[in-house]
Amino acid sequence: MALIEVNNLSKTYKKGDNVIYALRNINFDIQEGEYVSIVGKSGSGKSTLLNLLGGMDTSATGGVYYNGKNLLEMTEKELSYHRKFTVGMIFQSFNLIPTRTAIDNVKLPLIFSNYPVRLRETRACELLYNMGLYNRALHYPSELSGGEAQRVAIARALANKPKVILADEPTGNLDTATSGEIISLLQMFNKKHNITVIMVTHDKETANRVSDKTVLLSDGEIIKTTVNQKK
C-alpha cells in the first residue's frame, strides 16, 4: 500500500464568474522512502498541491490519502497532528521567525508537540549539530547566510521526526553551490533515515537527477510522471 495516494484531486478558485482550476484531476501515489519531485512552471499548481499534501489546505475535491486516511476529511485536531508528527515543511524563503534565535526556531515545533521541556534543548542542539550549525545556535536568522537559514529550517522540519519532508522550492533562494548542499542533505535524510521527500522545484534537471519519481505539472494538470531508474 502506498504511503500517500492522491485521487482525482481538484482545486478551484473563483475569480468573478470564472472558475479557475488550480489543480485538475490529479492522480499519483508515493511509496514510503521515495524521493518525489513535482516540477512545473510558475502558476502550474505545484505549491497548491504541496499545501494539500501537508494538510495546510483542505478546500479541494477528491482525496489525499495518507496511510489510507483522507486528509481532506480530517478534523482540525487530526490535521494538526499530521502537520506536527507526519510531515515537516521546508520553504523557499526559509520562513524562520526573525525574532527567535536558530535554536529557538528549532524548538518551536517541539513546543507544539508537547516534547518534554528538559529534552527540548538537547534535541534542538542535536539537530543543529547534525546540520553543522552548532556554533550558530544563538544567532538570529538575519545573522545567518541563506544556506545556514535553510539548514535551520530543515532542522526545524525534522524536529518531531516526521516520515515525510515537504520541500517547497528549497533551493529557490540559494546559489548553485549551496543548493547542491541542501539537495545533498535531503538525499542523505531520504537514504539514511528512509524519510519520504516530496520536493517542488522548477529545475527539471535537478529533479531528474535526485528523485525516484518526477511529476510534471502544467496548468494544474499532470502531464507526465517519470520514474527515474538511475538514482
Partner 1 sequence: MKISDIILLAFNNLKRNTLRTVLTMLGVAVGIGTLSSMVSLGRGVSQNISSQMSRNDLFTGLTISSRDFGFDSSPQSSRLLTTERQVVPLTDSTIYDLEQKDEVAVVFPELIKPAVIVFKGRSVNANIKAVPVKMGGFYPFDNIKLGEFYSSESEPCVVLSKNVLNRMGIYTDKISSESPSSVLMPADSIIGADIEIITKIFDIEKIDLITSSKKQLPLKNDTTILRVKGIVETNSFSAGIFSDGIFLPTKTCEYIPCIDLQNVYDIINGNAGKYGKYNSLHVRVKEHSMLRKVKNEAEADGFQVFSIGDKLDDFERVFFMLDSILAAVGIIALVLSVFGIVNTLLMAIYERRKEIGIMKSLGATSSQVKLIFYFEAAMIGFAGGLIGVLCGKIASAASSRLQIPNSKILLTVISNILRILGKLYCCPFCFRLLSALRLRYIRRVKPPKSTL
By the criterion CB under 8 A, which residues form the site for partner 1? 54, 56, 76-77, 80-81, 83-85, 89, 95, 97, 99-100, 108-109, 111-114, 117, 156, 160
Nearer residue to partner 1 within complex by CB, 26 or 89 = 89
Nearer residue to partner 1 within complex by CB, 58 or 218 = 58
Phi then psi for residue 171, to 5 deg, are -110, 5
| Least Cβ distance, residue 218 to partner 1 (angstroms) | 26
Nearer residue to partner 1 within complex by CB, 100 or 209 = 100
| Least Cβ distance, residue 171 to partner 1 (angstroms) | 19
| Least Cβ distance, residue 25 to partner 1 (angstroms) | 27
| Least Cβ distance, residue 150 to partner 1 (angstroms) | 14
Residue 110: CB atoms within 10 Å: 21
Tell me the pairing of strands 35-40 and 87-90.
unpaired
| Least Cβ distance, residue 101 to partner 1 (angstroms) | 11
Nearer residue to partner 1 within complex by CB, 160 or 214 = 160
The stretches of the chain forming alpha helices (DSSP H) are 46-53, 76-81, 102-112, 117-130, 146-158, 176-192, 204-210
Nearer residue to partner 1 within complex by CB, 138 or 227 = 138
Element (H or E) spanning 14, and its range? strand 4-15
C-alpha cell at 65: 490519502
CA distances from 207 to 19, 63, 84, 180, 182 (A): 31, 25, 27, 12, 13
